[in-house]
A = this chain, B = another copy of it.
Amino acid sequence: MRLAIDAMGGDHAPDAMVEGTLKALKEFPDLQITLVGDKDKLVNLVGEQNRIDILHTTEKIEGTDAPVQAVRRKKQASMVLAVQEVREKRCSAAISAGNTGALMASGLFGVGRIKGIDRPALAPTLPTIHQNKGFLFLDVGANAETKPENMLQYAIMGAIYAEKVMHRPNPRIGLLNIGEEAGKGNELVKEAYKLLSNAPINFVGNVESRELLEGPADVIVADGFSGNMVLKSIEGTAMSLMKLLKETLGSSLYTKVLTGLMYGKLKSVKQHMDTSAYGGALLFGLAAPIIKVHGAAKSEAVYTAIKQAQLLIKEDVVGTIEHTFHDKQYDWMNSKV
């Protein structure tokens, strides 16, 4: 199996991308990687590893670039070429830590959508407090405007992923809403609630954002606007709180020493909440596996995303979604709606 990796995207590129790749190659003997990026910078980092091919380019999409224009103009950008490797079947999946919107645009132009999916969704996995299992959260912002039918599609794609990749039999699907009772929320989620209730999934009803980290469901479905806000609230609150804790505990020598003695424990809390253990965010609904790794990702997150990509391919998640949206099961769902 060969994967394409955009070596130039993300805050810690290319080092983090190459380190993550090398770690994965050590663990998976059947894995081969095409690193897309500046050969001059990559050759030394890669060293003697002969299961890496370098696809040379110096063009790159920046985090500040307008996604669609950038993808149209920078035809030789590392991200665009990585997706092209997938389109032309030389690689089975592409991974990038670059500009999220541009990766989505590269995916839409490059490999296209699965037939039956109107809007792809961005779907990271978030940690939970107790079970250390995490939950899939989609859409977290691929689309600012969402229709109820989009959310039904998210739910079905999420259920397939949860079962095949997260190994959750009969996964619980929850709908992000401002109250638990049916009938709560705005028109969009009320309509989505009806569609999800009639879909062939294990729908557990509305879930409030307050409960998310306690793990009330395996998959949380949201409109992209709310999903993005909630994701960033969780990240921001965790970050701010850890900062406050650090400042408070570090404010005297006495507590500084005590904190030092507890370093391992405090670190384990931080690691528990670290999303890099959960891989990247899949761009659900594209016709091939394209994975977005966090822009701040270090080598561990890249390594995990490579693991995740292999599982996606082995379990044929994209094929299963395609199949589900073409066969009778989907007709049946439509007739219920």
Q: Would you list which residues of chain A between 223 and 280 have a CB under 8 Å from chain B?
A: 224-226, 228-230, 232-245, 248-249, 251, 255, 258-259, 261-262, 265-266, 268-269, 272-273
- Give the docked Cα–Cα distance between A240 and B131 (Å): 13
Contact B129 A240 (CB under 8 A): yes
Contact B237 A233 (CB under 8 A): yes
Contact A229 B226 (CB under 8 A): yes
Q: Does A198 contact B (CB under 8 A)?
A: no
How many chain A residues touch B (CB < 8 A): the figure is 51
Nearest CB to that of A242 among chain B residues?
A: B241
Q: Does A30 contact B (CB under 8 A)?
A: no
Contact B265 A236 (CB under 8 A): no
Q: How many copies does the complex hold?
A: 2
In the assembled complex, how far is the CB of residue A208 from the closest CB belonging to chain B, in whole angstroms? 6
Residues of B within 8 A of A214 (CB): 236, 240
Q: Which residues in A have some Cβ–Cβ distance to B below 8 Å?
A: 129, 141, 144-145, 176, 178, 184-187, 208-214, 224-226, 228-230, 232-245, 248-249, 251, 255, 258-259, 261-262, 265-266, 268-269, 272-273
Query: 24 A-B residue contacts at CB 8 Å?
Result: A129-B243, A144-B185, A144-B186, A176-B229, A178-B225, A178-B229, A178-B232, A185-B225, A208-B232, A209-B232, A210-B233, A210-B236, A210-B239, A212-B236, A214-B240, A229-B233, A230-B233, A233-B234, A241-B242, A241-B269, A244-B272, A245-B245, A248-B272, A249-B266
